[in-house]
Amino acid sequence: MPVQLEFAKGHGTMNDFVVLSDPDGSFDPSPAQVRFLCDRRAGVGADGVLRAVPARFIEGWAGKPELWFMDYRNADGSLAEMCGNGVRVFLVFLKAAGLVPADVESVTIGTRAGVRIGTYLPAGGVRVWMGRPAVEEPAVEVSVGSHTWRARAVDVGNPHAVSVVDADRLRSLDLTRMPAWSPSDAFANGVNLEFITPVGANELRMRVFERGVGETFSCGTGTVAAASAFAADHGETEAEYVVHVPGGSVRVELAGGDAYLSGPAEIVYHGTIVVPEEEHRG
């Protein structure tokens, strides 16, 4: 039987998501269902799916069972540990849907990368504690066409490789295909690839190829990785950066080993969609 879903559509700096509410843990979408929902012609269209589900329904979750869990899927149906823009959209959705009190100032949620804490900003947007990024020495090489750059691997709960390129190269990069990396076994579960260039004091410009999606207008964890890698290149441990992406700008704060991401997020519409029978599992 086809299944009819209610959904919301949201975005953070044009990194867009289909958001589903699943308070009783009854709808665990298959990869095919996720691909259908994210299809920009046959479905809703998005870079990924966010399912709001109580953490007690997530297999292997050892934290507080009553937390809302951000069950994130990439557009190709694969699971992902974290999504920085997705967290902000998820938190805005929780409040708009009445799943948290309207006057709450901060919310702790579960993700596959652990808990994340979001604070609603008075002027709009959300500031999220993004954990403690782990930055490695630049021991990876990333290639686009005939050009190769050294890259730092950065773990922000999900894997990243950050390369610094010049401004002209950043504009002309062909990211219609996945870049290559070496050694090829450096990222067993794939990687998000960020290309950055400084454009001013404490300002970076970035493009990104996200695993399971392709080039996107923005990647929240990628901006944190970019700022963390750039700070490490310059021997900084306490820093604040504005990171410009094709979809807008966000702010990354690095302090005491912790990272915080601030930026806009909004729900732009609600709707219903019928998932075709061949896409419905069980």
Return the amino acid letter for 58.
I
Is 221 assigned a ligand-binding role in the annotation? yes
Is 189 assigned a ligand-binding role in the annotation? no
Q: Specify which residues 135 forms β-bridges with.
A: 154
Write down the residue that tokens 């990211």 correspond to.
175
Is 220 assigned a ligand-binding role in the annotation? yes
In degrees and rounded to multiples of 5, residue 247 shows phi and psi of -95, 0
Note if 38 is an active site residue. Answer: no
Q: Are 49 and 37 in contact (CB under 8 A)?
A: yes
Return the amino acid letter for 74.
N
- Residues 6 or more apart whose Cβ sits within 8 Å of residue 172: none
Is 158 assigned a ligand-binding role in the annotation? yes
Is 74 assigned a ligand-binding role in the annotation? yes
Is 238 assigned a ligand-binding role in the annotation? no
Question: What is the three-class DSSP state of 174?
Answer: coil
Q: Exactly one of 196, 219, 227, 231 is catalytic; which is it?
A: 219
Is 202 assigned a ligand-binding role in the annotation? no
Q: Exactly one of 44, 46, 83, 92 is catalytic; which is it?
A: 83
Torsion-angle region of residue 200: left (phi > 0), alpha (psi -120 to 50) or beta?
Answer: left
Q: Are 242 and 64 in contact (CB under 8 A)?
A: no
Q: Which residues are annotated as a binding site for substrate?
A: 15, 74, 84-85, 158, 192, 210-211, 220-221
Q: Which residues are annotated as a binding site?
A: 15, 74, 84-85, 158, 192, 210-211, 220-221
Q: Which residues are known catalytic residues?
A: 83, 219
